[in-house]
Each structure stands twice: as C-alpha cells, then as structure tokens.
Structure 1
Amino acid sequence: MAADKNAFVWEDPFLIEDQLSEDERMVRDGAAAFAADKLAPRIEEAYLDEKTDPSIFREMGEAGLLGITIPEEYGGLGANYVTYGLVAREVERIDSGYRSMMSVQSSLV
C-alpha cells in the first residue's frame, strides 16, 4: 500500500524540513548537538545556583552560534535569517535564557 501523501505528519506538521536547504539543516543539527552536549548539562546547576557560567558565551562563539547573520568578511557565518531562527529554536529547546543570551550577543552592533 502506498503512503498517503496527504497524511498529517506529527513530527513536522508544516513540512518545514522539506523546505530547508542542506546548509540550513547542517547548521541546525550542529546547534542541536551543541545545545544537548554543552548547554543541557548546565541547566540544573544554573537554576540551583541562580547564576550563569560566563564561559558559555565563548563556547557559543567558538561553535559559530553567535553572529550567524553577520557577513563572513566581518567574522560571521553569513547565514540567512531562516538559519538564525533554526539555531535559536534548538537553543530554546534547552532553555530560553540561553536563547536570549545568544540573541542579544548576536544582535549587538
């Protein structure tokens, strides 16, 4: 039996995955891995101690998560705003505070 092409896809209800470029997927997946490996383990301690580890900023920068939309000639990734949104969503999955940190540091002029 052939798959119903009109069936609802719970994992991707708006079929966004099909609309992304390979580069957008690659950056998103890298951000998801970084968030799971580097940010998630720090959540409990950050809440219990009511403070953030400032080394997170440097690590986010080294991972390419800051300045995503800044042109490459200025040290950024030169990515589009779709990519920025995908990265923000992956960081937000872990914690909205980390996403706010990323957004502020990426938007400073």
Structure 2
Amino acid sequence: MSKGKTAAQCAHAAIMCYQSAAEGSEIQNAVLQRWCRMGQPKIVLRVDSYEQLNGLQIKAQEANVVAALVRDAGRTQLEAGTATVLGLGPAPATDLDKLVAHLKLL
C-alpha cells in the first residue's frame, strides 16, 4: 500500500475502535474517555503476514482488548476484502504491550 492508503486505513481502524469502545462495556467506555483526555495517542506497527495480523486479532479478543480489522473496499489499490490494518484499543498500555511489544514501528 502507498503511504496515503496506509494512513487512510489506519484512520478507518481508529474510528472503528472508537465506535466499538463507545458501544462497549462501562470499563471500555472509561478507558475510551481517558484515552480522549490523553490526546488519543496512536502507534503504527508492522506485521509480516496476514496470519500474524489474524493471530494478533484473536489474542486481543481473548484479552478483552478492543480490536477492529479493516478490510479494503477494493476501489483503488487492493482487491475488495483484503485485510489491511488491525486497530487495537483504546486499552491500558500494559495490555497493549503484552500483544505488540515484539512488533516494529512502521
């Protein structure tokens, strides 16, 4: 994906995660409110494969961390349905670190 496409996909993931947390449990909503007060920090990391992305989504769900998988609409660079980005959180940094500490910055 181009840098612009990656940025757009990350924006989709952030919005999806926000919506999920806002509609989630009281705890998820409280974490969301704290995240908003802290300036909505975001970090973009790289995975090597769809399998790694999918495994990360499963681990996040098992850990009760908000996770949103973005699939492309297929209007520009990718085939429709291609998984592009996995949004995680908002969640406590310790919870996220358990899932992604091994990944590298994009």
- Report the TM-score range of the alignment, normalised by the length of the smaller protein: 0.3 to 0.5
Q: Larger Rg: 1 or 2?
A: 1
Higher relative contact order (CA 8 A, sep 6+): 2
Normalising by structure 1, we get a TM-score of 0.33
Task: Name the structure with the higher strand share.
Answer: 2
